[in-house]
């Protein structure tokens, strides 16, 4: 396989088709003719000797190999864009910037204070924020596409030789129940009382680190949770809880607690929490990152 004939434009066009899964719409977005896009995808598949898409008269879908290739190509494209932005920032003398990733658990807790701290200490610093799940964030960190990540829970795998990690205060777990549930009036709920419940969970298979942590918590009581529905949308998940389809375990921010059709009840268990950490690349050193680490150390000790 001669990769010298592989162009960056081909990768961008592959990603657009992988995103839209529709040749005509993808070609319109790219500003090229649909036959040209079809020919370039065929050429790419021939070059790689791999079928990336399954095509029928009614639909286009990624093959398993296509999914793997898409995920890797996204990293290449993001790295290229990051390199361009870094070069431009260096040329403008604007390298005082910080690229941070975070999970949704930090949106209303911890991260806003960190952003305010950075803005107060370094008003001119560039700050780029990326929301993703922990596995994706660790991948971005290890490939140098971000400088630091706020993860929850702490991943089972080490961050890597060029990375360091500092633990942050854990998040307490609660259960979301329909407002008319028999347990809704309690001030806390013990894990064994949820044995017969079915649960709403995220769509990922295999389970996310958060789901594995909750499963381990229930396994300590000899309970294997039954999943009623998997959903990739928090508000829809809470609406399914309200409808009585199932309960939901997690950390719930203030906006979820304001709903009147569900109740959020703390779990009565010493282990009912999600671990959190900040992981960062140790080289090259960034002054703004060093100041953030000092702030995080003070918060963690408080």
> What pLDDT is attached to residue 283?
73
> What pLDDT is attached to residue 298?
85
> What pLDDT is attached to residue 85?
67
For residue 122, being part of any structural domain is answered with yes
SS3 assignment, position 231: coil
C-alpha count within 13 angstroms, C-beta hemisphere, residue 125: 23
> What pLDDT is attached to residue 125?
81
pTM above 0.75, yes or no: no
Tokens of 232: 């990739």
Domain of 109, CATH number, reads 3.40.190.10
213 and 233 inside one domain: yes
153 and 19 inside one domain: no
Q: Which whole-number Å values give the CA distances from 252 to 33, 82, 110, 149, in the listed order?
A: 47, 33, 14, 21
125 and 184 inside one domain: no
> What pLDDT is attached to residue 95?
55
From first to last of its 302 residues, the chain has per-residue pLDDT tens of 667 788 888 999 999 999 999 999 999 999 999 999 999 999 999 999 999 999 988 899 999 999 999 988 988 887 787 777 667 666 665 556 889 999 888 887 789 999 999 988 888 788 999 998 888 899 899 888 899 999 988 887 777 788 899 999 898 999 999 999 999 999 999 999 999 999 999 876 667 778 888 999 999 999 999 999 998 888 899 999 999 999 999 988 776 778 899 999 999 999 999 999 999 988 766 788 989 999 998 877 76
Domain of 59, CATH number, reads 1.10.10.10
150 and 284 inside one domain: yes
Number of domains present in the structure of the chain: 3
135-151: buried (b, 16+ CB within 10 Å) or exposed (e) per residue?
ebbbbbbbeebbbbbbb
Q: Which residue has the tokens 């990152």?
A: 289
For residue 222, being part of any structural domain is answered with yes
239 and 267 inside one domain: yes
Domain assignment of residue 60, given as a range: 3-73
> What pLDDT is attached to residue 267?
96
> What pLDDT is attached to residue 116?
92
């Amino acid at each position: 396989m001669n990769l010298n004939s592989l162009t960056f434009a081909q990768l961008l066009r592959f990603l657009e088709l992988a995103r839209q899964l529709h040749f005509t719409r993808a070609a319109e977005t790219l500003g090229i003719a649909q036959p040209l896009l079809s020919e370039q995808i065929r050429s790419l598949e021939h070059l790689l000797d791999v079928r990336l898409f399954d095509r029928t008269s009614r639909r286009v879908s990624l093959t398993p190999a296509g999914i793997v290739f898409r995920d890797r190509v996204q990293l290449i494209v993001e790295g290229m864009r990051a390199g361009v932005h870094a070069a431009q920032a260096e040329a403008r003398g604007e390298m005082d910037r910080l690229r941070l990733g975070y999970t949704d658990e930090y949106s209303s807790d911890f991260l806003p204070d960190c952003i305010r701290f950075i803005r107060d200490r370094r008003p001119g610093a560039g700050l780029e924020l990326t929301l993703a799940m922990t596995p994706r964030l660790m991948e971005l960190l290890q490939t140098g596409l971000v400088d630091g990540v706020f993860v929850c829970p702490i991943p089972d795998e080490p961050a890597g030789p060029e990375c360091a990690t500092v633990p942050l205060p854990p998040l307490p777990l609660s259960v979301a129940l329909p407002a008319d549930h028999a347990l809704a009036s309690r001030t806390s709920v013990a894990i064994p009382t949820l044995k017969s419940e079915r649960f709403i969970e995220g769509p990922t298979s295999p389970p996310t680190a958060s789901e594995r942590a909750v499963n381990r918590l229930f396994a300590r009581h000899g309970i294997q949770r039954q999943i009623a529905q998997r959903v990739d949308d928090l508000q829809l998940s809470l609406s399914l809880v309200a409808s009585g389809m199932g309960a939901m375990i997690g950390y719930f921010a203030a906006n979820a607690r304001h709903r009147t059709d569900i109740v959020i009840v703390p779990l009565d268990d010493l282990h009912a929490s999600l671990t959190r950490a900040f992981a960062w690349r140790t080289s090259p050193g960034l002054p703004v990152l060093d100041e953030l680490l000092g702030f995080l150390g003070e918060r963690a000790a408080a």
